[in-house]
Amino acid sequence: MQVFNNARLSFDSSGTGDAGQLGINTRQFTLDTGGQVSATTSGSGQGGILSVNAQDFVQVFNNARLSFDSSGTGDAGQLGINTRQFTLDTGGQVSATTSGSGQGGILSVNVQEFVKINGAGSRLNLASLGSGDAQELNINTGDLTVENQGEISISGLGTGRAGDLNIKARSIFLNQQGNLLARTISGEGGNIRLEVAENLILRYNSNILTEALGTGNGGNISITAGGYVLAILSENSDIAATAIEGRGGNIFVRALGIFGFSNPGRLVRTPQSDLSASSTLGIDGIAVLDVEPFQPEEQLPGQPNDPQIGTGCQVRRDGMTQDLTRSRFNITGRGGLAPSPTDALSGFMLSPSFIRREVESDESQGLSDLSTLQLLWQCQVKNSRIE
């Protein structure tokens, strides 16, 4: 299924009645160049359910939008996406928004292989714009990548509370200002919970943030990683739970190792990569880091073993006494060997010239060529100090 060039597929409900269900079942689902698929509800009725089920992939490109919006007193419904691969790029958005007094909806994304959100304006968002509280944005996937100003966010832009962002993934990679955000203007801050089977990596000014910009308390950040939580100290990638007037949120991180962040005891955010739970005017939160003790795969022996010498290293016996002789390591001649271990190797090689032996008898002139070569070689060896 493809929707593009500003085409629109919509499902609207208004009045006092409850909205129904809209299901899209396809092999491949693509929104491109301003195309929209939306479900809206207004009035006092309860929001419906919009589900997109694609066997291969869901792709939203070039400012296209998949949305579920609710206004009025009725509670928002649910938007669900189920597929093998999910991509938002070049401003593509998937959102669930409530703007009345009703409760916000639930946005669920279940992806087998990967979720990739790339580029400025590309966003997966759950928002409350009125007095109603947002609920949950849930993501369950293999590998999650958010990069180049892409964003996954929950927000309370009215008086309602921002919802909760819950992610379960094999790995999470935030790169080039890729952000996971929970932000509220005047209500209580939302929470971010991450369960990562392997590693969580932040690069180049990427962030995991909960922010309360008004009188509300900051939300909490909870991270459980089976591998490592990694950042580069100089790249200004933060994990922060902050507030202005309310209490700063709390941060809990459990992993095999946590590397690349400044001292969490400083609390305030700096130009370096930080773990910060702070409030500008209120009480600071706390940051708790729980690092697993190192457990080697093979236990080290309690006692050292006796050295074993192979049969090829055994020494010879003296021919007369049959006693074992002492091993020796002999170096004869120079041959490129440095004068000492700290000196550089020299290219000088000793090359003595041939020596002719003066003989008086005619018989000596009858030496065979082989004998002459042997004699000359012995002279060479003698003068080269190889004995």
- Give the integer Cα–Cα distance in Å for 27 and 9: 18
Q: Give me the DSSP letters along 6-74.
A: T-EEEEEEEESSPP-EEEEEEEEEEEETT-EEEEEEEESSPP-EEEEEEEEEEEEETT-EEEEEE-SSS
Write out pLDDT tens, residues 127-156. Answer: 888 777 778 999 999 999 999 999 999 988
> Residue 329: phi, psi to the nearest 5?
-125, 110
Reading the chain (387 residues) residue by residue, the pLDDT tens digits are: 999 888 988 877 776 666 667 789 999 999 999 999 988 777 776 667 889 999 999 999 999 999 888 777 777 778 899 999 999 999 999 998 888 777 777 899 999 999 999 999 999 999 888 777 778 999 999 999 999 999 999 988 877 777 899 999 999 999 999 999 998 887 777 899 999 999 999 999 999 999 888 777 888 999 999 999 999 999 999 999 988 888 888 999 999 999 999 876 566 678 999 998 888 878 888 888 888 765 666 666 666 666 555 555 555 665 665 566 566 655 555 555 556 666 665 555 555 555 565 555 555 444 445 555 454 445 444 444 444
Write out pLDDT tens, residues 160-188. Answer: 777 899 999 999 999 999 999 998 887 77
- Give the integer Cα–Cα distance in Å for 251 and 278: 10
Strand partners, 293: none
Residue 387's pLDDT is 41
Q: In what order do the strands lie in the sheet with 36-43?
A: 8-15, 36-43, 65-70, 93-98, 123-128, 151-156, 179-184, 207-212, 238-243, 275-279
Write out pLDDT tens, residues 336-358. Answer: 555 666 666 555 555 555 556 55
Cβ-based neighbour number of residue 314 at 10 Å: 10
